[in-house]
Amino acid sequence: MYEKTALQLKDLFVSGEISAVEIVNYFFKRINKLDRKLGAFLQLYPERTLSKAKELDEKRKKGVKLGALAGIPIALKDNIHIKGELTTCASKILSNYQALFDATSTKLLEEEDALILGKTNLDEFAMGGATEYSAFLKTHNPWKLSCTPGGSSGGSAACVSARLAPFSLGSDTGGSVRQPASYCGIVGYKPTYGRISRYGLVAFGSSLDQIGTFSYNTKDMALIASVLGQHCIHDATSLNVPKINILEHLKKNLEGVRVGIPYDFLTDLSDEMKQSFDESVQVIKDLGGEIVEVNLSVLKYAMATYYIIATAEASTNLARFDGVRYGNRDLHAKNLDELYDLTRENGFGTEVKRRIVLGTYVLSSGYSGSYYKKALGARGKILDAFNDTLKSCDLVIMPTAPTPAFETGSIQDPLSMYLMDLYTVHANLTGLPALSIPAGFAKNGNPIGLQMIAKHTQDHFLIGCAHAFEQARPENIQVPPFAKEAV
């Protein structure tokens, strides 16, 4: 069953060949067997999910109309709310926090009869690039357990890559869906800002955050993106645009599609990454795509711009976790000041503290003009450059990450870790839809991803083009040996 796509599983369920209870029991058994070594999940909901599965089986038996995701298992990153369940953000400070409401994404999934298996691990408050900064456990890459799955949505990526669920949700603030998708050899999609509601997602950087999705392939991605891409009255940033059935927009070729490549930004690629990228470019040419060289030299400012804006917003958003309103509090405090100080000192991890301090500094009196306001100006320049570029082409492509997955713990310098987001942060700064698709394998066997970026609200076009690329190279979609051997 683990080899079936989401759509295939749904068809088996709808036709009556298999029950929802059988599906749920199979995947929980698989998780219990594999996740001891993988570390993808923080929480599982066997009783809740089995109850939902029984209801779904009754629904099918009575001939009631079934949802678009009927019988499909899914996992959620543990910064997305499920009412009554823990939302820890992989942090000690929220280790006892129960969500009071469902995220819009959670609600839409369950309305369409998806079966939520549990919550996945992440870097604390989604701040990190290797899922090493979780307060609870480290997640490993199914392709090589000694390597990172990427981050911050590493648990969600590893879960799908190891075929513990056909779908998972993550969040993408600077590449936290696309980068782990690249490292784990699966499809990772960050929508246009506002296309998928952020209501019920614990905020990191509010102008950058988006809920994104992981899947085995682009056809499955089209299905779940269609379900989640709806206007939400609870989210002021939600786009009020028509719902689109993306399955109707999948392409067989790229004839007439102009594909921009910012070679001026790709000068430091290693020989291995350059070879992989050049092979992907040839695939696009073979599919009929027209290659256009574009100038995006302004992207050299994207990393500095991103880390000023992201940390400033993180500092503001995380001020609410003070031991008074949410989660844990330090019981040794003798007064209110100590309560604030000790709760945050003991509740936050090193990386979260680092980003709060940096964000507080760039917002502080006398420095906000030097840093934050200049970063906002640079962000505008980056957006203008992309908008100009996308007048001469329909897509922009580049590597998803500078390298394949690296060994867990091998990067100790924070700046070096931040640079793993080199090719992803600009899509968050601009709000453009972006997607990582498997594009081959490194010499050591680890996957390599190709990133595609499209115009605002052209998510259906983006996924459609990715489908054409995927169909030309089906050998890039594989089950990791770890997931095969342990079955």
The H or E element that residue 304 is part of is: helix 302-317
Average pLDDT, the chain: 97
**Residue pLDDT, tens place only, 85-107:** 999 999 999 999 999 999 999 99
Q: Mean of the pLDDT values across residues 35-48?
A: 98
Alpha-helical runs (H) found in 112-261: 154-161, 178-184, 218-228
Over the stretch 407-416, which tens digit does the pLDDT of each residue have? 999 999 999 9
Which residue numbers are catalytic?
77, 152, 176
φ and ψ of 165, to 5 deg:
-165, 145
Q: Considering Cα of 403, then 409, then 415, then 421, what sign does the dihedral take?
A: positive
The Cα 363–Cα 366 span in angstroms is 8
- Mean pLDDT of the region 67-87: 98
Rounded percentage of the chain residues whose pLDDT exceeds 90: 97
What's the pLDDT score for residue 17?
A: 98
41 DSSP β-pair partners: 120
Cα–Cα distance, 361 to 371 (Å, whole number): 9
- Which candidate, 32, 122, 31, places its Cα nearest to that of 78? 122
C-alpha distance from residue 89 to each of 176, 369, 412 (Å): 14, 32, 22
Angstrom distances, CA of residue 167 to CA of 163, 187, 213, 224, 457:
9, 10, 7, 8, 22
Residue 268 pLDDT greater than 90, yes or no: no
Q: Averaged over 260-282, what is the pLDDT?
A: 95
CA atoms within 13 A on the CB side of 308: 21
Residue 486, pLDDT above cutoff 80: no
pLDDT of residue 485: 66
pLDDT tens-place string over residues 204-251: 999 999 999 999 999 999 999 999 999 999 999 999 999 999 999 999
Nearest CA to 183 out of 205, 164, 161 is that of 161
Whole-prediction pTM: 0.97
pLDDT of 366 reads 87
C-alpha 414/C-alpha 352 separation (Å) is: 12
Mean pLDDT across 446-450: 98
Residue 486, CB-side half-sphere exposure with 13 Å CA sphere: 21
The answer to whether the beta carbons of residues 92 and 139 sit under 8 Å apart is: no
Write the pLDDT tens digit of every residue in 461-479. 999 999 999 999 999 999 9
Q: Which residues are paired to 116 by β-bridges?
A: 74
Residue 445 is predicted with a pLDDT of 96
pLDDT confidence tier of residue 287, bands split at 50, 70 and 90? very high
Residues 37-59, mean pLDDT to the nearest whole number: 98
- Strands 395-399, 447-454: pairing is antiparallel
Number of alpha carbons in the 13 Å side-chain half-sphere of residue 68: 15
- Please give the Cα distance from 152 to 173 (Å, whole number): 9
Q: Give the percent of the chain with pLDDT over 70.
A: 99
Q: CA separation (Å) from 482 to 75, 140, 144, 409, 449?
A: 20, 11, 8, 21, 20
Residues with Cβ < 8 Å from 7, sequence gap 6 or more? 219, 220, 223
pLDDT at 368: 86
For residue 249 the two structure tokens come to 């927009």
Give the tens place of pLDDT for each residue, 296-345: 999 999 999 999 999 999 999 999 999 999 999 999 999 999 999 999 99
b (16+ CB within 10 A) / e for 448-467 = bbbbbbbbbbbbbbbbbbbb
Structure confidence by residue, pLDDT tens digits, 341-388: 999 999 999 999 999 999 999 999 888 889 999 999 999 999 999 999
What confidence tens digit (pLDDT) does each residue in 108-137 have?
999 999 999 999 999 999 999 999 999 999
Task: Provide the b/e sequence for 143-171 (b: ≥16 CB within 10 Å).
Answer: bbeebbbbbbbbbbbbbbbbbbbbbbbbb
